[in-house]
Copies of this chain bind each other. A is one copy, B any other.
Amino acid sequence: MDLHALTRQLCVANDSKIVMFVADGLGGLPQTPGGKTELETAHTPHLDQLARQGVCGSSIPVAPGIAPGSGPGHLALFGYDPIRYLIGRGALEATGIGLELQEGDVAVRANFCTIDAEGRITDRRAGRIASDASAPLAIRLREVRIPGVEVLVEPVKEHRFVVVFRGEGLGGNVADTDPQATGVPPLDPVAGDAASQRTADVCRQFVAQARLLLREHPAANCCTLRGVAGKPDLPSYQEVYGLRAAAIAVYPMYKGLARLVGMDVIGSAKTLDEQIATLREAWDRYDFFFIHFKYTDSTGEDGDFAAKTARTEEFDAAVPAIMELRPDVFIATGDHSTPSVLASHSWHPVPTLLWSKTCRTDPCQSFGESECLRGGLGLFEAKHLMTLALAHAGRLGKYGA
């Protein structure tokens, strides 16, 4: 089902405000069987109160058993089917370091490597060269000149950097050049379709010039290209929902994801308090606000149950300041689970709370994984959350007569 065919057709304008407050990696697991999760252990009086008034449920980011990365996790929350809409690895990496992709750009993840005199790879990651040694080399590669193509290069970490090619007629379908083995030369960049022939040629020229620029640097004298990808073709929030949408995030990845669906990235907040201040300041100018809180995920990734619990309390503490602005619809959820006992993203459903004046009573008395199982939203695919938000905001007309 193409949900956006429905929302485009049915959406109506009004002056309602929707806030989607995302605690990255919110869902968790107990430390011992039958125990409480991080969210259930945390003292979250404000979310608990909203759970009693609103409606809760458990969202499945992609499909049962599928642990999503940040890209698909957020696309689903934003209402984009995460199976249908893929953000290529190069595009996600570029987005994640804050490069703003333009229509027609092609983004590539690149690795420094070392080659011998015969051009055979001796180390695929250039000995995991330190970031402060690799960054100047990446910046040196900005000297590459390709006729008719603008070349942007940004260091990432250790042996990794990102390249963006900007020009006409560049398709995003070129195979990786990393042979996944040593003792053989890097692969030739091969186009996967006619529209990407020029891109393959541009990649070839880039690597050839890079070898010349890097020949004095035995620690990283070549590079491989991977995850070649065009800017994903995502219809915007304005197009599919008729919403003026703003994103208030601290980290580049989430700003980038929001920008890909046409949200304005606003403010320069570094803390949750500053994010809320940005929200307050921008309140009258937008219909929809995505507020991203990173630390429930990073503490989960660190495997630190206590720290994730504390960060969850920090998330809860920001709720009253949001509710003071009187949103018509308030949503608290996560893009996926990051149980600290697993120290990684997981496939477990994500506790989700929707508050508005048009919620039907459900029995949930607090906000937590077990309680959400009793909720009126049930176990649902995350991609439906935006449609529910629009409905509760009075922004969807009737389907069919």
Contact = CB atoms under 8 A, between A and B. Distances in A.
Interface of A: 1, 3, 6, 10, 29-30, 33-37, 52-53, 58, 62-73, 82-83, 86-87, 89, 92-93, 339, 342, 344-349, 357-363, 369-370, 373-380, 384, 387-392, 396-401
A369 B378 contact: no
A286 to B, nearest CB: 21
A13 B358 CA distance: 44
Contact of A30 (B34, B58, B89, B360): B360
A69 B400 contact: yes
A54 to B, nearest CB: 9
Contact of A396 (B33, B66, B72, B339): B66
Nearest to A337: B360
Contacts of A369: 360-361
13 contacts: A3-B63, A6-B62, A29-B360, A63-B387, A64-B380, A64-B384, A64-B388, A65-B387, A67-B398, A72-B399, A73-B400, A82-B399, A361-B370
Contact of A71 (B87, B379, B401): B401
A58 B401 contact: no
A49 to B, nearest CB: 11
Nearest to A253: B401
Chain B CB within 10 Å, residue with most, of A62, A72, A399: A399
A237 B250 CA distance: 43
By secondary structure, the A interface counts as: loop
A211 to B, nearest CB: 28
Nearest to A58: B378
Given A66-B387, A391-B66, A370 B379 contact: no
A347 B396 contact: yes
A373 B62 CA distance: 22
A303 B33 CA distance: 39
Contacts of A373: 362-363, 374-376, 378
A86 B93 CA distance: 41
B37 A399 contact: no
A361 B31 CA distance: 10
